[in-house]
């Protein structure tokens, strides 16, 4: 079902929800004790209904940050390490236009921290409804996780169905396909994962094949 709410209005509503949840979170209390301001953000690209969602685990950064206040234009997204490394796959097989941004980019947890280990299970509990609201509004044909940590978190909450693993030729590294809230979910190794170019290409090819089958592209 297509929402009657505009993208800008939805972004503002979700941002307000995020502010409320953030101030309830353990990581907010951690920031206060450390005298830091990591804050939060909803997305890195304009919200684009019916287009795919690429997502990481959470917003990083060790400096002080202000909360996100306006919907981003996606400036600089082409320079993201993951996008640069994976551009050949994303543009050729996933039909993405990196320059014109016909996709969405966000993180599973909207709360910013220097590292994922700074987040607790209660932080995820507070942020997951925000991510779900974002996904359901966009209604994407697929979600693509950068790295496997997102799937571990989602699976720990019992949210994944039909999980399949897609290994490289040495059966050492893997990507995934699954169902999240009845949406098609996929994952590929994180750009910092130490694997050969051949292994990465093999996993990308297998995951891409699964995406094409699932979305009838």
Same domain, 70 and 161: no
Quote the domain boundaries for residue 192: 141-217
Domain boundary among 93, 124, 140: 140
Q: What is the DSSP string of 55-104?
A: EEEE---SS--PPP-S----TTGGGSHHHHHHHHHHHHTS---TTTT-SE
148 with 123, same domain: the answer is no
pLDDT of residue 51: 96
Query: In whole angstroms, what is the distance from residue 103 CA to residue 144 CA?
Result: 11
**Strands of the sheet with 53-58, listed across from one edge:** 104-109, 53-58, 143-146, 183-188, 174-180, 160-167
Task: Report how many domains make up the chain.
Answer: 2
How does pLDDT run across 108-149, given as a tens digit for each residue?
999 999 999 999 999 999 999 999 999 999 999 999 998 889
CA terminus-to-terminus distance, the chain: 21
Residue 46 included in any domain: yes
φ, ψ of residue 155 to 5 degrees: the values are -70, -30
Question: Does residue 79 lie in a domain region?
Answer: no
In a domain, 20, yes or no: yes
Mean pLDDT by runs of 10 across the 217 residues of the chain is 82 98 97 94 97 94 89 90 86 90 96 94 97 98 93 96 88 88 93 83 92 88
Same domain, 116 and 187: no
Task: Please check whether residue 212 is in contact with residue 177, taking contact to mean a CB–CB distance below 8 angstroms.
Answer: no
Judgement on whether residues 56 and 136 belong to the same structural domain of the protein: yes
Whether 133 and 175 map to the same domain: the answer is no
Contact criterion met (CB below 8 Å) for 102 and 138: no
**Widest distance between CA atoms in the chain:** 50
pTM value is 0.93
148 and 214 part of one domain:
yes
| In a domain? residue 89 | no
pLDDT tens across 49-65, in order? 999 999 999 998 778 89
Q: Tell how strand 143-146 and strand 53-58 pair up.
A: parallel
Claim to verify: residue 64 and residue 113 sit in the same structural domain: yes
Residues 152 and 51 in one domain: no
User: Are 122 and 177 in a shared domain?
Assistant: no
- The vertex-123 CA angle with 120 and 124, nearest 5°, equals 95
Examine residue 94 and state whether it is found in any structural domain, yes or no: no
């Amino acid at each position: 079902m297509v929402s009657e709410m505009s993208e800008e209005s939805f972004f503002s509503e979700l941002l307000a929800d995020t502010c409320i949840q953030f101030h309830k979170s353990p990581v907010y209390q951690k920031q206060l004790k450390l005298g830091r301001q990591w804050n939060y953000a909803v997305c890195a690209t304009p919200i684009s209904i019916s287009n795919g969602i690429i997502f990481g685990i959470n917003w990083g950064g060790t400096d002080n940050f202000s909360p996100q206040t306006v919907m981003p234009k996606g400036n600089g997204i082409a320079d993201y390490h993951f996008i640069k490394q994976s551009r050949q796959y994303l543009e050729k097989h996933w039909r993405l236009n990196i320059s014109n941004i016909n996709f969405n980019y966000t993180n599973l947890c909207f709360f910013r921290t220097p590292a994922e280990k700074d987040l607790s299970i209660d932080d995820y509990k507070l942020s997951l409804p925000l991510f779900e609201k974002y996904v359901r509004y966009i209604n994407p044909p697929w979600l693509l996780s950068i790295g496997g940590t997102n799937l571990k978190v989602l699976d720990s909450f019992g949210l994944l169905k039909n999980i399949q693993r897609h290994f490289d030729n040495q059966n050492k590294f893997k990507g995934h396909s699954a169902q999240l809230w009845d949406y098609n979910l996929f994952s590929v190794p994180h750009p910092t994962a130490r694997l050969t170019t051949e292994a990465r290409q093999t996993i990308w090819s297998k995951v891409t094949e699964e995406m094409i089958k699932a979305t009838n592209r």
